Amino acid sequence: MSSAVARRAAMPPGPRLPALAQTVLWAVAPVRFGRSCTRRYGPVFTARILGFGDVVYISTPEGIRRILRDDAARFDAAAANESIRFVVGEHSLLMSGGAEHTERRKVLMRPLHGDNVAAYVEVMESVVEQEIRRWPPGSTVRLLDCFQRVTLEVMIRAVFGITDSARLDRLRALVPRLLAVNPLIILLPALRRRFGGVGPWAAFQRLLAEVDRIVIAEIRERRARIAADPGSRGGDVLSLLLTQGGENPPLTDRELRDHMVTLLAVGQETTATQLAWFFERVVRAPGALDRVEAAVRAEDWKVLDAAIHEAIRARPTTLDIGRVVTEEWTAEGYTFPAGTLFAVSLGLLHLSDDLHPRPDDYAIDRFHPVEPPSAHFLPFGGGSHRCLGASLAMVEMRTVIAAVVRDVRLRARRAAPEAVTPRGPMLVPRRGAEVVVVANRVAAGRE
């Protein structure tokens, strides 16, 4: 037996299909592919994905806890994020590990802390109100597009603190194109060539350069403005990063740029997509929308959070997070060599029949009044890489949902659930969460 065959024999079982066929199934319908492999081979299986090689999927609570917490020092998250280094930059939190990661995280933690985030609610309310006014009664709206606009606006104003209207307009146009980066250039480094200035890489480079110019110009101007008048500092994340005290040396323009683009890359589409899935689920589950409306009226935030958590469980925006093990590691009856790539599948954990009975049903009571054990539900990951924007995301989702259900009555455009469809790194509702606006108290022109 060759050593490659021997190594593969020692790996967890997985589909025998050729790598190309597995890659196509994984790329077209990742949730269906993951769930059918789990049913057949169990919660630890090996898939062969072109561009990545053997990928070990793991969705047991014990395995996930060990990778994210107990044995975290033996796992490298940055290596698994390598494919997006060219977007987020070398100073990004996503590109660091160990002590360097701890340092970078500390820097970003304070501005994204719950107390600061509460100050963004006013901006969020005004942004969502403006969006809702554009939904005339009787019309069909694609909520994913609407919430993309809302979360981008919140990001530009509350996180970047940009008020210059020319810059705002330009970023509004550029960012969606930047985030819709052609997945082929993420997966296939060989395509990252300029080919004489034509093709997806050259186009992406031009886009990134323009976003960088705007972000760096904003950083420089803000730095100068705050230096001239410290009282002009805003409460946004960029201003807080520019003025943080302590022993740390001030952040360079490039470091700030990488932090800001990272927040944009990981925070905007996730929240928009999760909001779209929330309504896609809630308008279809019998009684769920009424329950959410009653909770908002009664300011019963526990029920609203339960409804949000259940939507995240039932419709994850990404199926897994990547880790590369840096030394031999024994778990789940296998010994994995250093360099093994793991897909830590929070999505498959949340869809497990054993841990969440009838996982395809949307049921708010799964999370209320008693929540499932924390090892069975990790919406924002865990351990040293746990989502830094969890407070911001939860506050934003509560605020947006509360505003929508207070003023608007929605119903599903079609009874059938929308299919889960990959779009870039996100799993989105195929029709963009289409709903019909039954009534709207604030639609433009009604007063």
Residues that bind ligand HEM (CB under 6 A): 77, 93-94, 105, 262-263, 266-267, 270-271, 274, 312, 317, 321, 346, 379-381, 385, 387-389, 392-393
Is the CB of 30 or the CB of 267 nearer to ligand HEM? Answer: 267
**What's the CA angle centered on 170, arms 167 and 172, to 5 degrees?**
105
Residue nearest to ligand HEM as judged by C-beta position: 389
Is 387 annotated as belonging to a binding site?
yes
**Run of H or E including 421:** strand 420-423
Amino acid at 263: L
Distance CA 338, CA 329 (A): 7
Minimum Å gap between C-beta 94 and ligand HEM is 6
Beta strand extents in 269-374 (DSSP E only): 321-325, 329-331, 334-336, 341-344
Minimum Å gap between C-beta 268 and ligand HEM is 7
Is the CB of 141 or the CB of 397 nearer to ligand HEM? Answer: 397
Minimum Å gap between C-beta 353 and ligand HEM is 22
Distance CA 165, CA 172 (A): 10
Minimum Å gap between C-beta 312 and ligand HEM is 6
Is the CB of 323 or the CB of 368 nearer to ligand HEM? Answer: 323
Nearest to 414 by CA among 429, 432, 430, 436: 436
Instruction: Scan for tokens 């069975």, then name that residue.
Output: 376
| Residue 262 burial class via C-beta count within 10 angstroms: exposed 0-12, middle 13-18, buried 19 and up | buried
Minimum Å gap between C-beta 219 and ligand HEM is 17
CA distances in angstroms from 379 to 67, 136, 176, 368, listed in the order given: 16, 34, 24, 16
Beta strand extents in 264-333 (DSSP E only): 321-325, 329-331
- 197 HSE (CA, 13 A, CB side): 0
Minimum Å gap between C-beta 376 and ligand HEM is 15
Minimum Å gap between C-beta 392 and ligand HEM is 5
Is the CB of 25 or the CB of 388 nearer to ligand HEM? Answer: 388
Is the CB of 94 or the CB of 437 nearer to ligand HEM? Answer: 94
Distance CA 262, CA 86 (A): 11
The DSSP 8-state label assigned to residue 186 in this structure reads H
Instruction: Scan for tokens 């929605």, then name that residue.
Output: 410
Minimum Å gap between C-beta 102 and ligand HEM is 9
Is the CB of 418 or the CB of 443 nearer to ligand HEM? Answer: 418
Q: Are 58 and 66 in contact (CB under 8 A)?
A: no
Is the CB of 263 or the CB of 289 nearer to ligand HEM? Answer: 263
Q: Are 403 and 292 in contact (CB under 8 A)?
A: no
Residue 118 CA to chain centroid, in angstroms? 20
Is the CB of 309 or the CB of 366 nearer to ligand HEM? Answer: 309
**Binding site members:** 387
| Residue set of the binding site for heme | 387
